[in-house]
Amino acid sequence: MATSRAFLTATRPRRTATLPARITARSLITGPPPSVPPIHGTHETPTSTPLPSPNPLPAFHIPSAPVPHARQEDGKPLYVSGSQAERQARAGRMSSPLRRGTHESWWTPEMGFFNAVAKTIPTFRVLDEEGHLVRGAHIPEISKEEAIRMYHIMTLVPIVDNVLYQSQRQGRISFYMQCAGEEAATVGSAAAMLPNDEMYGQYREQAALLYRGFPLKDMMAQCFGNVEDEGTKGRMMPVHYNAPDLGFHQITSPLATQMPQAAGAAYAIKLDENRQGDCVICYFGDGAASEGDFHAALGMNSVLGGPCIWFCRNNGFAISTPIIDQYAGDGIASRGPGYGLDTIRVDGNDALGVLSAVREARRRAVEGKKGVLVEAMTYRVGHHSTSDDSSKYRPMEEVQEWTVVDNPLYRFRAFLVARGWWSEAEEAALLKKNKSEVLKTFSRAEKLPKPKLGEMFNDVWAVQKGEEMPSVISEQRAELGRLLKKYGDVWAPWRKERKRFVEEGEDVMDCDGRGA
Amino acid sequence: MRPQQLIPSIGRRCRPRLPIVLSPQRRNNSYTVSVDEPSDARPADPPAPRARSAPTPVPDEPTVEEPSLGKSDILLGTEEQALATPGLTFADGHGLRGPTGKGRQTRRMNLYQAIRDALGTALATNPKAIVYGEDVAFGGVFRCTMGLTEEFEQGIAGFGIGYASVGGCAIAEIQFGDYLVNEAAKLHYGSGGAYPLNGGSLTVRAPIMSVGHGGLYHSQSPEGFFLGAAGLKVVIPRSPIQAKGMILAAIRDPNPVIVFEPKILSRPDAVRAIQLLSNPPPSLAALLPAKLRPPNPAPSIQLIDLRTINPLPAAAVSEAVKKTGRVVIVHEAGKQGGVGNDLAGEIGRRAFEYLEAPIGLHAGAFDF
C-alpha cells in the first residue's frame, strides 16, 4: 500500500501546494436538520474521515483570457478503417491458416514482440482545467438550454449526495454512494444519449438518471424504501434505482454483471426493426474491467454486434485498489482494439469533451450497429460508499487537491460564463432552489410509511393470469399473518414495527392462520 | 450402449478394477535435481519415457442376459398413450381432439429431437426469439443461431438477461452461471415487477446428469444448487414429450426457467427405461429380476413425477404421502444438499403423524 501511494503522489504533478482559503471557509451543506429522530438507529460504519463532500464548488470566478497550449505531438494510435462487417469479411478471405483471424499481417524474419498497439493513447478534451477552450478543439453543438440543464444536474447531484450521505451517517438510511468528482463524466455522457436509448448503470450514475428526468421524489423514495418507491417497492438497498420508462435498467450490487446484459440488450436492439437508431450505454468502472464479465461482454458485443457504448469511468480506485494495482497495461482504452472496437480516451472531468466524445461514439455505434469503448479519466472524490473510509488508502491532501486543481463543475461553469450564459446571481439562485427542493423532498420521503407488508411476498415469481402464487411463498405469507395475529399487538417490538407499514400489516392477516 | 438391466438394481456388477503396476523409477523413488544448469542452455533432453506396464486385460465375465427394455412393447407406442401423458395441455386451446376434431398426430422422437422441435416452434411463432449458447450449431429451422466459444460462457446468462430485459425472448444453452441465482432470479422482484419488459423471457437449457461415459465433468447433478434461488424456476423433464411441452411452457413463462435435460434421455433405449419406471404398468413385475419382484399381492404404489423442483411442490407431495404413509425418494444427485433431503424435510414437517416408516432416500440412483 505504501509503495502504491508513493507512486501515485510521485507521478501526479502537483500544481498547487496549498489550498486556497475559500475552500476551507466554504460552508458545506450538512444534510437535514437533526431534529427528526433516526429511524435505523446509528450504524457503526468504518467511514469516519470527512471528505470534501460534495465536490466543493469553488467561488464564482470569471475566467481570464485563454492560455495557448502546446500541441500533443506524440504518436497517434492506429485506426483500421472499415466497418466491422468489412473487417470480418477481410479476415475471412485470408486463405493462409496462419493469417486467418487477423486483420492484416505479413511474414517477417524479425522476431518482434510488442506490448502496446499504439505508442500512446491521447486523452481527448475540449476544455482544460481552467475551463479554457483547448486550441484546435471543436465545441460540440450545444444549446443554452441543454448546457444549463447539464449544469443544473451537475450542481444538483452534489446536494442530493450530501443530504443522503449525511442522513446515512445519522442512521436514517442504511447505505449510500456518492458521485462526487464524476459529475462531468456522468452528466456529459447522459446528455449525449437520446430518450429511447437504454442505460445500464453500475451504481454511481444517479447523475445520469437525474439528467434523464428521474424525479427527486422517486430517488428519495427508493433510498428510504417508502410507499412511493414504485421502482423497487422497498426491496432494494438505497441507490439501486431503476426506471423502465426512462430506459434505465435495474442497478444491482454484483459488479460488472450489467455488462453482458448490455451486450444482450444491444443485440436485441440490432435485431428489432422497430428500434433501429436506438443505442445502449453501459457504465462501468476501472475495477469492473478486471472482471471476466467485461471480457465476455466486449467479446460477445464485438462478434455479434449491436449498438452499445461501453463507458468506463476510470476514477482511479476500485474501492481501495488504486489503478496502479489494477492493471499494468495502458488503461482500459488499450483493451478496445483487442476486441476491434472503436475506442477513445476522454478527459472525464471535461463535460463538453465527454459530451462530444460520447455523441460521436453513439453515432458510430448506431451506424455500425457495433460497440464503442469510451474511457473517461476522472477521480473519485468521495469514499467508495458509506461502508468505506478512503483515508486508509489515500492521502486526504490528494483528494483536496483534485477538487481544486481539476474541478469538473468549475470547468463547465467557466465555459458557461465565457459564453455569457451564466452569472453569479443565477448560480446563487440555482443553488438555493436546489438545496431547498432537495431538503423538502428528503423530509417528505422520510415521513412516508413503508409499502404494505405483504408487498414483500409479491413478484418473487411472476404470477401469470390464472396462476396462483407458488405455495412456497403463500405459505410463508400465511405464517407471517398467523404470527402477526398472535403477537402483533402484544409484543412491543412488533407493535412498534407494524406502525411503519401501510395498513400496519393487516394485509397479510387475511388468512385463516393455518399456514404451514 | 444399450441398458443392460432394469433399475433399480441392487446387485449391479462392476468391471473389476485393473491392477496398478508401479514403474521401476517410481518404486525406487530416485529423483535427481540439478540446480547448476546454466540458464541459457537448451532445455535438457526430455526424460526418458517411463516404463508403462501394459495392464493385463481381465476378461469380462459372461453377461447374464437380463430383459432388454429396448424390445419391450409396453411403452408409449401409440398416439393414445402419448396423448394421455399427465399434464399435457395444448397452447392452441383445442385439446386432445386438435383443431380438426379428428385427433392429433404424434411422432416418435428422442429427447433432443423433441427439444429441437420445441425450439423450432418457439422461433417460428416469436419473431423476438433467439437461441444461442456454446457451440450452438443447429441449422435449418432456426432463424438465428450463433456459435460462441466457451470463453464467453460466463457472459451467456447475462447476455440473455439483457436481451429479455428489453422484451426479447432468449433461449440459452449453457453450462452454468452465478447470474442465474443473483441476477436473473432477482430481476423481477428487485425491479418491483417492472423487468423483464412485456414479452421478455429467459429460458436456459443445460444438460445434466450422467450418461455413463462422462467422467467427472459431464456426470454431475447440480440441480440442488438452484433450490435456494427464489425467483428461478427449475424443471427437469423425464421424457421427450415432457421436454417439448416444458421447453415451450418455459419460453412463454415470464420467469427465468432452467430446463435441466438429463443427458441419458437422448438415448432412445434409456428413454424407454425411464418411462417404464415412471409409469409402471401392471406387467412390470414380470420383467424384474426375481429378487426385485414385489411381494404378492403387490403393494399399491403412487408414483409422483416431480417435474418442477423450484418452486418445490412440497404441499402437494405431502398430501400424497398422507395417503400412503410411506415414501421413497429417488434421484440421481448425491444425498447431501439435494432435492431429496429438502423434500424429505418438508414431508416430515407436514405429514409426520401420517408416516409409517422412515422416509427413504435413494440418491445417486444411476444404473444404466
**What is this model's ipTM?**
0.73
Q: Is there a single domain that holds both residue B213 and residue B313?
A: no
The whole-angstrom separation of Cα A515 and Cα B218 is: 41
- Please give the average per-residue pLDDT across A407-424, as a whole number: 94
B29 in any annotated domain: no
Could you report the per-residue pLDDT of A453-496, keeping only the tens digit for each? Answer: 999 999 999 998 888 899 889 989 999 999 999 999 999 999 99
How much of chain A, in percent, has pLDDT values that exceed 90?
63
Q: Does B224 touch chain A (CB under 8 A)?
A: no
The whole-angstrom separation of Cα A111 and Cα A99 is: 16
DSSP 8-state symbol, A351: H
The pLDDT value recorded for residue A411 is: 92
B142 in any annotated domain: yes
**B180: exposed, middle or buried (C-beta count within 10 Å: 0-12, 13-18, 19+)?**
buried
The distance in angstroms from the start CA to the end CA of chain A is: 54
Q: Is there a single domain that holds both residue B238 and residue B298?
A: no
Chain B residues close to A299, C-beta within 8 Å: 151-152, 155
Name the residue among B357, B320, B313 with its Cα closest to residue B339: B313
A229 and B192 within 8 Å at the Cβ level: the answer is: yes
Listed range (A109-118, A236-245, B10-19) with the worst mean pLDDT: B10-19
Q: Is there a single domain that holds both residue B264 and residue B224?
A: yes
Name the residue in chain A with its Cα closest to that of B167. Answer: A268
The pLDDT value recorded for residue B4 is: 36
The whole-angstrom separation of Cα A445 and Cα A173 is: 11
Chain A residues close to B150, C-beta within 8 Å: none
Name the residue among A480, A466, A516 with its Cα closest to residue B315: A516
CATH of the domain at B95: 3.40.50.970
B137 in any annotated domain: yes
Q: Is the pLDDT of residue A7 over 80?
A: no
The whole-angstrom separation of Cα A431 and Cα A181 is: 18
Output helix, strand, coil percentages for chain A, rounded to the nearest 5.
45, 10, 50
Q: Is the pLDDT of residue A244 over 90?
A: yes
Q: Is there a single domain that holds both residue B256 and residue B293?
A: no
Q: Does B368 touch chain A (CB under 8 A)?
A: no
Which of A235, A242, A300 faces B155 most closely, judged by CB atoms? A300
The pLDDT value recorded for residue A17 is: 45
B62 in any annotated domain: no
Interaxial angle between packed helices A292-304 and B153-165, expressed in degrees from 0 to 180 and rounded to the nearest 10: 70
Chain B residues close to A452, C-beta within 8 Å: none
- Please give the average per-residue pLDDT across A433-441, as a whole number: 96
Q: Is there a single domain that holds both residue B169 and residue B242?
A: yes
The whole-angstrom separation of Cα B72 and Cα B70 is: 6
User: Which of B271, B297, B331 finishes a domain?
Assistant: B271
Listed range (A190-204, A307-321, B110-124) with the worst mean pLDDT: B110-124
- Please give the average per-residue pLDDT across A426-453, as a whole number: 95
The residues of chain B scoring below 70 in pLDDT are: 1-78, 134-154, 174-179, 212, 266-300, 365-368
A257 and B179 within 8 Å at the Cβ level: the answer is: yes
Name the residue in chain B with its Cα closest to that of A472. Answer: B311
pLDDT bucket at A101, cuts 50 / 70 / 90: low
* Beta bridge partners of residue B201, listed in sequence order: B169
Q: Looking at chain B from residue 177 to 196, which residues have their Cβ under 8 Å from any Cβ of chain A?
A: 178-179, 182-183, 186-195
A477, containing H or E segment = helix A471-487
A516 and B146 within 8 Å at the Cβ level: the answer is: no
Could you report the per-residue pLDDT of A360-412, keeping only the tens digit for each? Answer: 999 999 999 999 999 999 999 999 998 888 888 999 888 988 888 889 999 99
Q: Is there a single domain that holds both residue B231 and residue B309?
A: no
Give B230→chain A minimum CA distance, Å. Answer: 6
Q: How many CB pairs under 8 A join A and B?
A: 162
The pLDDT value recorded for residue A352 is: 96
Could you report the per-residue pLDDT of A448-463, keeping only the tens digit for each? Answer: 999 999 999 999 999 9
Residues with Cβ < 8 Å from A362, sequence gap 6 or more? Answer: A192, A193, A194, A197, A279, A281, A307, A309, A372
pLDDT bucket at A12, cuts 50 / 70 / 90: very low
Residues with Cβ < 8 Å from B210, sequence gap 6 or more? Answer: B218, B219, B220, B221, B263, B264, B332, B366
B47 in any annotated domain: no
Going edge to edge, which strands form the sheet with A198-200?
A198-200, A280-285, A308-314, A371-377, A342-347
Question: Could you tell me the domains of chain A?
Answer: 144-446 (3.40.50.970), 453-508 (no CATH)
The whole-angstrom separation of Cα A396 and Cα A9 is: 11
Residue type at position B70: G
Name the residue in chain A with its Cα closest to that of B159. Answer: A264
Q: A186-211 b/e with 16+ CB inside 10 Å = b? A: bbbbbbbbeeebbbbbbbbbbbbbbb
| DSSP string computed for A492-506 | HHHHHHHTTBGGGGG
Q: What are phi and psi of A186, to 5 degrees?
A: -75, -45
Q: Is there a single domain that holds both residue B97 and residue B164?
A: yes
Name the residue among A241, A237, A139, A224 with its Cα closest to residue A449: A224
Q: Is there a single domain that holds both residue B230 and residue B334?
A: no
User: Which of B242, B271, B300 finishes a domain?
Assistant: B271
Chain B residues close to A475, C-beta within 8 Å: 315
Name the residue in chain B with its Cα closest to that of A294. Answer: B155
CB atoms inside a 10 Å sphere around CB A267: 28
Instruction: Return the higher-pLDDT residue of A395 and A77.
Output: A395
CATH of the domain at B331: 3.40.50.920
How much of chain A, in percent, has pLDDT values that exceed 70?
80
Q: Which structural domain, as residue segments, surrounds residue B307?
A: 279-364
Q: Is there a single domain that holds both residue B187 and residue B306?
A: no
Question: Within A57-143, where are the H helices?
Answer: 84-93
Mean pLDDT of all residues belonging to chain A: 85
Give B278→chain A minimum CA distance, Å. Answer: 25
Distance of CA B238 to the CA centre of its chain: 8
Which of B148, B162, B188 faces A261 most closely, judged by CB atoms? B162
Interaxial angle between packed helices A424-447 and A216-224, expressed in degrees from 0 to 180 and rounded to the nearest 10: 40
Q: Is the pLDDT of residue A163 over 60?
A: yes
pTM for the structure as a whole:
0.77
Give A184→chain B minimum CA distance, Å. Answer: 27
Structural domain count of chain B = 2
Q: Does B315 touch chain A (CB under 8 A)?
A: yes
Q: Is there a single domain that holds both residue B140 and residue B201?
A: yes
B313 in any annotated domain: yes
B322 in any annotated domain: yes
DSSP 8-state symbol, B213: S
Chain A residues close to B226, C-beta within 8 Å: none
Q: Is there a single domain that holds both residue B206 and residue B292?
A: no
* Beta bridge partners of residue B233, listed in sequence order: B257
The pLDDT value recorded for residue A200 is: 96
The whole-angstrom separation of Cα A282 and Cα A291 is: 15
Q: What is the C-alpha R_g of chain B?
A: 25
Residues with Cβ < 8 Å from A187, sequence gap 6 or more? Answer: A150, A153, A154, A157, A207, A208, A211, A351
The pLDDT value recorded for residue A25 is: 38
Instruction: Return the higher-pLDDT residue of A282 and B280.
Output: A282
| DSSP string computed for B98-116 | -TTSS--------HHHHHH
Q: Is there a single domain that holds both residue B136 and residue B263?
A: yes
B168 in any annotated domain: yes
Q: B86-109 b/e with 16+ CB inside 10 Å = b? A: eeeeeeeeeeeeeeeeeeeeeeeb
DSSP 8-state symbol, A139: P
Positive or negative, the CA dihedral B233, B239, B242, B248 is positive
Residue A357, classed as helix, strand or coil, is helix
Name the residue in chain B with its Cα closest to that of A252. Answer: B183
User: Which of B240, B255, B271 finishes a domain?
Assistant: B271
Q: Does B314 touch chain A (CB under 8 A)?
A: yes
Residue type at position A337: P
The pLDDT value recorded for residue B145 is: 38
How far is the CA of A391 from the CAs of A52, A353, A387, in angstroms?
A: 12, 30, 13
Name the residue in chain A with its Cα closest to that of B160. Answer: A264
User: Residue A31: left if φ>0, alpha if ψ -120 to 50, beta else—which one?
Assistant: left
- Judge contact between B240 and B110, C-beta under 8 A: yes
